[in-house]
Each structure stands twice: as structure tokens, then as C-alpha cells.
A and B are shown apart, each in its own frame.
Chain A
């Protein structure tokens, strides 16, 4: 059963858009495994039908473009993104009593979407199946392996890349790495929010992001150098 991990205390945090206040228990969020059994500390809120629709329309629907973009970047397929967003919003409505009005709806929704993606879509996606959290973590997690690793690349060589090229580079990353980059750089979540969305400690957010960016820079470097090569040939 997925519980929300404790936030590591040595980490700089920001108070903007907190998922839950410091004194209140973390909210229960639906997972496939635990969905039917709310945790003991999950306060079920007795919203009236009218309040439910109001929360849904005012707090959930405004994030639908971000949600769709996230779904599309995860699945890399429009139909799958459609299904994923629809499933997520239906789930969100079904479990609306575990959402506390006025708290961070965007992070709450993103977490549901990410769980749905893992449970329902990842299995059937064309993503190479070997790449899962465990593998990735053990392969890349040794501090030694990464400590001296910086990608040799200049800012000027990537500054001319166009959006499609950057997107292709991003899409070529294993999904776990792609995810942290999307959440951080495209959606602007804080590390603390990402930790809750992904159910991992903040330290893992930080190191996964670091590795993701190294991989991305390697891809961008390949792109930039193949472009430079083409230009030379054309002239």
C-alpha cells in the first residue's frame, strides 16, 4: 500500500503550494491497490453533492490542460493521453471526499494520474519493460558512478535547438527520468510536491532529477553535434 513518505528534513523546502499543511495528516489519494480502503488517517469529508461539483469544476478542471500535457508526455500518444486524463478525472470525482478543499489540487490530481499511468498504461506501453524504478535506481544510484559525471556540452551548442528536437530528446529518456523533468521543468512543481506525487523521498527526487538531466544533456549533445555536422556538409 502506498503511503506518502516523510519529507526529508535536511532539504530546502518551499512553502508555496503545499500539498497539505504541516499540522494536518497527509491526504489519502486513490491508488489502485488501496483505492477501496481509505487509510485511517485519511479524513473523509462529507461534501454535499453540490459541493462536490463545485470543487470539481473550480479546483480540478482548471488543471486539465496541464494534466493532458503530462499524460501526453508520459504516454506519447494522444488516444492514451485522452483515456488517462478521463480515468484520472473520474477517479478524482469518485474519491473527492479524500481531497481537502483549498489544498493543492494540482499535485493531488497529478499523483492520481501518475498512479493510473503506472498501473494501467505502463504495462501496455511500448516502453522497454526493463526500465523500471528498481533497475534504474540500482544502476544509477551508486553515488560513485555519478559523482564525477558531468556532460561536456556548451550552452551555445544547444541554444539553437527547436522544440521538437528537445521533445524528442526528452521522449527518448526512460519514463522515470522523463517524469521528473516534466514535473520540475515543465510543470514547475517543487521538490516537495514531486516527492508526494511520486511517492519517493526528496533526496531521491533530487538525485533522479540530476541523473535525468545528465541523460538529457547527452541526448542534446548528440543532437547538437549531428546538426553541426549537417551544416558543415551543406555548406
Chain B
């Protein structure tokens, strides 16, 4: 989801500094980032993410952590030798 994140200069007066249900918001944010949120949940979160500062920060953090995991952790490839061994052993099955 692309959430328009407010620029620091354009802080609107109705921006909430406090979130009274952080834990629930966090769960919702994770559903969204995992692509598992329903339309309703998306709509609800969208409203939050435009007006609630803690929610925006949580969203940024969750997104960052997910990206660290997706993009920065090295992906180990299967050694060629193992591929060859498996193929050979399969052939001897029948």
C-alpha cells in the first residue's frame, strides 16, 4: 500500500500525537504490509495513517523491518553438488 506520508512541514492541526489503540493499529498495519488486510481494514487503516502520528511511525518501522528481511538478508543458494546428488539418488529409486 502506498500511504501518503505527510511532509514534516505540512503537519496538519488535526494530527493526533497520541494513539489510544496502538496494539490494534499495529496488528492492522502488519496485515496491510503482509497483503492480508480486507478492504474494510484497509479503509480503516488509511484514515489512521493520515491523521495519527504514532500510527505513521509504526507503519514506517514495520515497513522498514520487513524490507530489511526481504532485501538485506543474504539468500543462500543450494550447492550444485547437492542438486546433483539428489538427482542421482532419485534415479536409483525405480
Q: Which residues of A contact B (CB under 8 A)?
A: 11-14, 49, 53, 56, 61, 64-65, 67-69, 72-73, 81-82, 85-86, 89-90, 93-94, 146-150, 153-155, 158-159, 161-164, 166-167, 170, 181, 184-186, 190-191, 206, 209-210, 213, 216-217, 220
For the complex, is B50 an interface residue (Cβ under 8 Å from A)? no
With both chains docked as a complex, state the minimum distance between the C-beta of A94 and any C-beta of chain B, in angstroms: 8
Of all chain A residues, which has the CB nearest B25?
A150
Q: Which of B34, B35, B61, B73 contacts A154 (CB 8 A)?
A: B61
Which of B22, B57, B90 has a CB less than 8 Å from the CB of A155? Answer: B57
Knowing A14-B35, A210-B30 touch, does A147 contact B65 (C-beta < 8 A)?
A: no
Closest CB of chain A to B30's CB: distance in Å? 6
Which residues of chain A have C-beta atoms less than 8 A from B62's C-beta? 213
CB distance from B50 to the nearest CB of A (A): 18
Complexed CA–CA distance, A147 and B27 (Å)? 10
Cβ contact within 8 Å between B74 and A89: no
| Chain B, Cβ-Cβ closest to A88 | B86
State the Cβ distance, A170 to closest chain B Cβ, in Å.
7
Give the interface SS of chain B, mostly helix, strand, loop or mixed: helix
Counting from the closest, the 7 A-B pairs by CB-CB distance are: A68-B78, A163-B72, A155-B60, A185-B69, A155-B64, A155-B61, A12-B38
Contact between chains at B76 and A185 (CB < 8 Å): no
- Bits for B34-53, please: 1 = Cβ < 8 Å to A, else 0: 11111001000000000000
21 pairs, A vs B, C-beta closer than 8 Å: A12-B31, A12-B38, A53-B90, A56-B90, A68-B78, A69-B76, A82-B79, A86-B85, A93-B93, A147-B23, A150-B26, A155-B57, A155-B61, A158-B65, A158-B68, A159-B68, A162-B72, A163-B74, A206-B36, A209-B30, A217-B61
A61 to B76, CA, bound (A): 16
Which of the residues A49, A81, A148, A210 comes within 8 Å of B76, measured between beta carbons?
A: A81
Q: Does B9 contact A (CB under 8 A)?
A: no
Is B1 close to A, CB under 8 A?
no
Asked if B89 is at the interface (CB within 8 A of a chain A CB), the reply is yes
Which residues does chain A contribute within 8 Å of B76, judged by CB atoms?
Answer: 65, 68-69, 72-73, 81
Chain B residues whose C-beta falls within 8 Å of the C-beta of A13 in the assembled complex: 36
B74 to chain A: which residues have CB within 8 Å?
Answer: 163-164, 167
Q: Which of chain B's residues have a CB closer than 8 A to the CB of A209?
A: 30, 34
Contacts of A12 in B (CB 8 A): 31, 36-38, 41
Q: Are A64 and B83 in contact (CB under 8 A)?
A: yes
Give the docked Cα–Cα distance between A61 and B78 (Å).
11
